[in-house]
Structure 1
Amino acid sequence: AIRGSVTGTLEEAEMMGAHAGIVKLVPSASWCAQRKSFSQEVDDGLLDFMIPRPIEQNSVGRKGIYRQYHVVKPSTTLQQYRKLALSPARRPPRGDAAMLERRFWTSLGTEALSPPVYGADVVGSSLFEDMAGEWNLKELKTMLQGRVQALPGVTSSSLYVGMWRTTFAWHTEDYELGAINFNHMGARKQWYAVPRSARARFQALCDELFPREKRKCEAYMRHKTFMIAPSRLREVGIPVFYCIQEPGEFVITLPGAFHCGFNHGFNIAEACNYAVPSWIPLGLQATRCICRPGTVEIDMRVFKE
């Protein structure tokens, strides 16, 4: 549960969740009661905004190891996206979370289903109100926001509009930062995480599986293109933890922890990065992707002072 200041709660979460790499925070009933419910507004067409670069996610592979190819689609509105997400070809099957998880992993690498389209990294929009207090991700204040120039989606929040089977592939955050994600409305999000204690083993496995990518870019896992099933990781002794994020819940991915996941259906989430003092050594040693334009760059000298 959320108690006290943001920084204090994040530091406590890092201590309690270090073994897993991921922590779920459930706000109090009173905090949730004050928040506006967006579900009815979305259903009634009263809430709308632009999704400038939705991506179609195509996957190839087999036996629990998959590569994603992203195709940028034309800009769309939230209401147009919702209509697509709820269409017969893309809405989720009926079933509980366990059944949807099985269906998700068996669907990867097949051409029988229409590829999902993800409205990721929608900057400039936020669904938080002032009553959210310190947990308003639009105006989150940690040592990151206090020392780094404005970086949309890093120091300030982005929206993520998902549908059934949309994924966020295995990665760590830029500069090994922590991240906070809030599920505003809709379907669940399912998360997987590998704790920092197993990070080296996970990276070694990826280097073995994807040697060509390793040669091209030292930070190739920041490209967010590879999905490895938890069962394959456990087969080689790499621990994997998972959690289900319901609407109205926060999920924190801890600094340096690999994570991935997928959406159980149409939903809207909001996320941004954070930093606490224990992150600084990780940030100073972080590798940065330089093979793609527009990658995040942070002047780490400000954290040495």
Structure 2
Amino acid sequence: MNNIECPVFYPTTAEFQNFEAYMVKIESQSKGYGMAKVIPPAEWKARRKGYKDINPKITHPVRQVVSGLAGIYQVVLISERQMEYTAYKKYAKKRELNSELSVEEIERKFWKNIRYDSAVYGADSDTISLFDRNTEWNLSELSNLLEDGLKPLKLNGINTPFLYLGSWKSMFCWHKEDLDLYSINFLHFGKPKIWYCIPDSENEKFERLCQFHFREEYAQCKEFLRHKMTQISPSVLKGAGIKYHRAVHNPGEFMVIFSKCYHMGFNAGFNCAEAVNFATENWIETGERVRRCLCDPDCVRIDMEEFKQRLKDNRNEGNPHKRAKHA
């Protein structure tokens, strides 16, 4: 495995007050990694009363069926019926690994057994946010350029967060975010997530590799990687000379994925995460040039002229968000 970890940041209480400014700061220092981990100030809590009382519905569970060989895989998602939280938790707990396994052993086990014992992932649940209201970095209340450019529009999973209930071996395939946006993921509780990310400077090499191994998919859709069905192992990336970085995402930590960066990962056991997209001023030009999947009628679209006008109007109102500056 590639052992080059992504950068880790520890914002002060003062820095934690301005999300957008802090994102500009850490991107300037870690863009070459594609992602960064942020560990909040010690006194900060996402949910002060804990998680014993939660009961979110898993609205879109999917079974992930994997086929392929030698580090090149395709994942088919089979929709399952809506699940209650307690039922999913019971299912996930039955799949737990030996707690004494190291992260490296868990990674080896994942890639060795990726085709077997398909997992159910409670992804993209548009139910509730688990953050306390009026809490810094509450993902349902993030003050940032994307929110100001869309307001009052709400797009599920884009500027409103999704919950993700994971179990051992449930995964998310290689992809960039919709519209090549930034994303932020907070792990509320449970077992870690293992992330892999390719900096955007390697995109062309990675895309050529995928186009070679998935020629039929590429012939049908030039943006087939947006279908989130392609899985390629780190060993294949290494053999192709493609730089990537990894991260172990623990409860209470944020993972930030920068614009245009391919990423994938898997869950080491039962856990609960929350994620949403965001943007900084660096994204506007990207949003105007982004290549979209044309075969999916539900592919997210934003009229950038309308976006820029809303952004101007909303930031000129009585209490505009301060523009991000390098902190």
TM over 0.5: yes
Query: Whole-Å Cα distance in 1 between the matches of residues 236 and 44 of structure 2?
Result: 39
Question: 1:197-212, aligned counterparts within 5 Å?
Answer: 197-212=201-216
Counterpart AA for 2:226: R
Within the alignment, does 1:269 sit opposite 2:276 as a pair?
A: no
In the TM superposition, what is the alpha-carbon distance from 1:35 to its structure 2 partner? 3.2
Structure number having the greater helix percentage:
1
Query: Whole-Å Cα distance in 1 between the matches of residues 185 and 37 of structure 2?
Result: 10
Match of 2:138 in 1: 136
Match of 1:117 in 2: 120
Question: 1:27-46, aligned counterparts within 5 Å?
Answer: 27-32=40-45, 35-38=48-51, 41=52, 46=53
Change (3 A) 1:157 1:34: closer
Match of 2:224 in 1: 220
Question: 1:228-267, aligned counterparts within 5 Å?
Answer: 228-267=232-271
Question: 1:1-305, aligned counterparts within 5 Å?
Answer: 1-2=10-11, 3-4=15-16, 5-32=18-45, 35-38=48-51, 41=52, 46-87=53-94, 90-94=95-99, 95-110=101-116, 113=117, 115-133=118-136, 135-148=137-150, 149-303=153-307
5+ residue gaps, structure 2:
1-9, 310-327
In the TM superposition, what is the alpha-carbon distance from 1:303 to its structure 2 partner? 4.8
Counterpart AA for 1:55: V
5+ residue gaps, structure 1:
none
Change (3 A) 1:243 1:96: same
Please tell me whether the aligned partners of residues 14 and 254 of structure 1 are also in contact (alpha carbons under 8 angstroms): yes
Counterpart AA for 2:98: P
Query: Whole-Å Cα distance in 2 between the matches of residues 259 and 284 of structure 1?
Result: 22
Give the secondary structure class of the aligned counterpart of 1:179.
strand
Please tell me whether the aligned partners of residues 35 and 132 of structure 1 are also in contact (alpha carbons under 8 angstroms): no
Moved over 4 A (4+): none
Q: Give the stretch that moved more between structures: 252-261 or 288-297.
A: 288-297
| Number of residue pairs aligned between Structure 1 and Structure 2 | 293
Query: Whole-Å Cα distance in 2 between the matches of residues 36 and 193 of structure 1?
Result: 33
In the TM superposition, what is the alpha-carbon distance from 1:109 to its structure 2 partner? 2.0
Counterpart AA for 1:122: S
Match of 2:5 in 1: none
Query: Whole-Å Cα distance in 1 between the matches of residues 130 and 85 of structure 2?
Result: 13
1:244-286 alpha-carbon deviations (Å, 9 max, x no partner): 0100000000000000000000000000000000111211111
Please tell me whether the aligned partners of residues 134 and 141 of structure 2 are also in contact (alpha carbons under 8 angstroms): no
Q: Give the stretch that moved more between structures: 26-35 or 14-23.
A: 26-35
TM-score for the superposition, normalised by structure 1? 0.93
In the TM superposition, what is the alpha-carbon distance from 1:105 to its structure 2 partner? 0.4
Query: Whole-Å Cα distance in 1 between the matches of residues 240 and 79 of structure 2?
Result: 35
Give the secondary structure class of the aligned counterpart of 2:88.
helix
Q: Give the stretch that moved more between structures: 172-181 or 90-99.
A: 90-99
Give the secondary structure class of the aligned counterpart of 1:130.
coil
Please tell me whether the aligned partners of residues 61 and 121 of structure 2 are also in contact (alpha carbons under 8 angstroms): yes
Give the secondary structure class of the aligned counterpart of 1:53.
coil
1:149-203 alpha-carbon deviations (Å, 9 max, x no partner): 2101101111000000000000000110000000000010110000011111111
Query: Whole-Å Cα distance in 2 between the matches of residues 155 and 270 of structure 1?
Result: 12
In the TM superposition, what is the alpha-carbon distance from 1:304 to its structure 2 partner? 5.0
Query: Whole-Å Cα distance in 2 between the matches of residues 169 and 260 of structure 1?
Result: 5
* RMSD of aligned alpha carbons: 1.4
TM-score for the superposition, normalised by structure 2? 0.87
Give the secondary structure class of the aligned counterpart of 2:40.
coil
1:86-142 alpha-carbon deviations (Å, 9 max, x no partner): 11xx222330111100000001123xx2x1100101113110012522x00011121
Change (3 A) 1:7 1:33: closer
Please tell me whether the aligned partners of residues 170 and 266 of structure 2 are also in contact (alpha carbons under 8 angstroms): yes
